[in-house]
């Protein structure tokens, strides 16, 4: 989703109308830090990079983070609904 090589399926609730997010995502050629060993070398750094996070976060924070691309998309939809394009 959003051009990222990760699968971060999320459901967002909103008090403004939101169109369907995007077409179904494709699950191939994804970076998958959740399988292949819990203590994968540089997992935090690799996962941050794949999600577009360029600031320091701990490993648990990165694993629970919402990618900035999602936040940007949601913010634009809200601004469109508020008429502040």
Asked if the model's pLDDT at residue 71 lies above 60, the reply is: yes
Predicted TM-score of the model (pTM): 0.66
Is 8 part of any domain?
A: no
Give residue 56's domain range: 27-85
Q: Give the total number of structural domains in the chain.
A: 1
Is 37 part of any domain?
A: yes
Determine the Cα–Cα distance for residues 23 and 1; give it in Å rounded to an integer. 8
Which pLDDT belongs to residue 33? 64
Which tens digit of pLDDT belongs to each residue from 4-63? 777 777 777 888 877 765 666 666 777 766 665 555 667 788 888 888 999 998 888 988
Is 71 part of any domain?
A: yes
């Amino acid at each position: 989703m959003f051009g990222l090589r990760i699968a971060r399926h999320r459901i967002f609730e909103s008090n403004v109308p939101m169109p369907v997010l995007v077409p179904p995502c494709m699950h191939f050629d994804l970076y998958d830090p959740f399988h292949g060993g819990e203590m994968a070398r540089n997992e935090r750094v690799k996962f941050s990079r794949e999600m577009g996070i360029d600031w320091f976060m701990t490993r648990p924070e990165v694993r629970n983070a919402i990618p900035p691309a999602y936040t940007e998309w949601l913010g634009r939809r809200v601004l469109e609904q508020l008429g502040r394009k």
